[in-house]
């Protein structure tokens, strides 16, 4: 029987709780420890989720000999420090998106992982979603012809509290990094990095974006129309259109089916799965660790950097800095 990969969870927020629930769907994974800035928070999370060991610091978690890989789920602003703590302890890391606040910071992390010969991956779960991957296969097979446009949105009504992490500049808040990274990822998956970018945003009192639009232009003539919002509940849809048809994804993050339109023909491809969908990225981490890889072929460092570079260019246009 395969020895399970032992996971540590760094942070105790809602996303960490969801990840823990999904991780338990994998037979070759076990959660051995959780770490937080305070022992109280770690113990409470451990008790709630049945985790054997609770650590009152990031470093204690990273140095735990019963941990093989650490899932980093802090707010955006903590990703670099937390991930470096893990890497410095000689452990592999899966760091929530965005892996860093900008491409320069991300480059530093990836260089550090490479120097230490350690695995590091950005936790962009959409790239591992079976429906999104099926859409990529269909496009590659020519099912919709040449891709000419991508449209995607992600928006919800955030708490009307400027101190909330979604708005707080000190925490890397704003719609772009939290939500806009998903539409940007969809555009990159089907069209690659853009040649031109035009962006506009409404900024809140802290100088972070609340309502943002991006148009990505390509030398091929293709374009992507993307939006993200903290002030409106949008449909969360993604559409990849081509010369011979289109693919509709009912969720920009974690779809469970897609609809393929070609002429008068409509086909629904249902790939429903258990859980929320985080276990697919965790399964990739397990596979990579077993094979001795330091990067995932599906989510390589270069892809993380390409999307962050696009978001950097958007921020430069809308006037957001951290």
CA 26 to chain centre: 19
Q: What percent of the chain has pLDDT over 70?
A: 100
Contacts of 174 by beta carbon, 8 Å cutoff, 6+ apart:
166, 167, 204, 208, 209, 210, 212, 230, 320
Could you name the CATH architecture of 5-123? 3-Layer(aba) Sandwich (3.40)
pLDDT band at 2 (very low <50, low <70, confident <90, very high): confident
Question: What are 213's strand-pairing partners?
Answer: 200, 227
pLDDT of 211 = 98
**Mean pLDDT calculated for residue range 259-264:** 96
Query: What mean pLDDT value characterizes the chain?
Result: 97
**Residue 242 host element (H or E):** strand 238-242
Q: Which residues of 211-226 are buried (b: 16+ CB within 10 A; e: fewer)?
A: bbbbebebeeebbbbb
Judge if 5-123 and 129-273+306-318 fold alike in CATH terms. Answer: no
Picking from 9-23, 83-97, 161-175, which range would have the lowest pLDDT averaged per residue?
161-175
pLDDT band at 160 (very low <50, low <70, confident <90, very high): confident
* C-alpha to C-alpha distances, 279 to 1, 20, 66, 284, 296, nearest whole angstrom: 20, 9, 21, 9, 15
Q: Answer yes or no: CATH 3.30.360.10 is held by domain 129-273+306-318.
A: yes
Q: pLDDT tens digits for 42-60?
A: 999 999 999 999 999 999 9
Q: What is the pLDDT of residues 67-114, one digit of tens each?
A: 999 999 999 999 999 999 999 999 999 999 999 999 999 999 999 999
Please give the torsion angle defined by the CA atoms of residues 119, 124, 129 and 133, in that order, rounded to the nearest 10 degrees: -80
Q: Where are the domains of the chain?
A: 5-123, 129-273+306-318
At residue 163 the predicted structure's pLDDT band, cuts being 50, 70 and 90, is: confident
Name the residue with tokens 């596979």. 287
Closest by CA position to 190, among listed 235, 233, 224: 224
| pLDDT value of residue 1 | 52
pLDDT surpassing 90 at residue 172: yes
Q: What confidence score (pLDDT) does residue 36 get?
A: 97
| Mean pLDDT score, 15-27 | 97
Query: Could you tell me which residue, 164 or 190, shows the higher pLDDT?
Result: 190
Report in angstroms the alpha-carbon separations of 23 from 69, 182, 278, 297.
13, 22, 7, 21
What DSSP string describes 127-157? GG-HHHHHHHHHHHTTTT-SEEEEEEEEE-B
């Amino acid at each position: 029987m395969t020895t399970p990969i032992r996971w540590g969870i760094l942070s105790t927020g809602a996303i960490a709780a969801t990840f823990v629930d999904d991780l338990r769907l994998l037979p070759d994974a076990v959660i051995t420890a959780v770490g937080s800035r305070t022992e109280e928070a770690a113990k409470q999370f451990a008790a709630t989720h049945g985790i054997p060991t609770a650590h009152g610091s990031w470093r204690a978690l990273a140095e735990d000999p019963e941990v093989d890989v650490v899932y980093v789920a802090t707010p955006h602003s903590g990703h670099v420090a937390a991930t470096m703590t893990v890497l410095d302890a000689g452990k592999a890391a899966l760091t929530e998106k965005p892996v860093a606040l900008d491409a320069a910071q991300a480059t530093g992390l990836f260089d550090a992982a490479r120097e230490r010969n350690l695995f590091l991956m950005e936790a962009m779960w959409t790239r591992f979603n079976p429906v999104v991957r099926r859409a990529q296969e269909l496009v590659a097979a020519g099912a919709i012809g040449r891709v000419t446009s991508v449209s995607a949105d992600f928006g919800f009504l955030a708490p009307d509290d400027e101190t909330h992490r979604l708005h707080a500049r000190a925490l890397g808040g704003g719609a772009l990094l939290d939500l806009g990274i998903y539409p940007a990822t969809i555009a990159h998956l089907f069209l690659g990095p853009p040649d031109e970018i035009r962006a506009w945003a409404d900024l809140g009192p802290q100088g972070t974006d609340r309502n943002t639009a991006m148009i990505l232009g390509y030398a091929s003539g293709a374009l992507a129309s993307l939006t993200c919002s903290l002030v409106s509940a949008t449909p969360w849809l993604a559409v990849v259109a081509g010369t011979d048809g289109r693919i509709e994804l009912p969720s920009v993050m974690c779809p469970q089916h897609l609809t393929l339109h070609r002429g008068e023909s409509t086909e629904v491809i249902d790939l429903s799965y258990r859980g929320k969908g985080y276990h697919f990225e965790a399964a990739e981490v397990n596979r990579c660790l077993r094979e001795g890889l330091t990067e995932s072929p599906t989510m390589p460092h270069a892809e993380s950097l390409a999307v962050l570079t696009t978001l950097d260019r958007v921020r430069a246009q809308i006037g957001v800095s951290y």
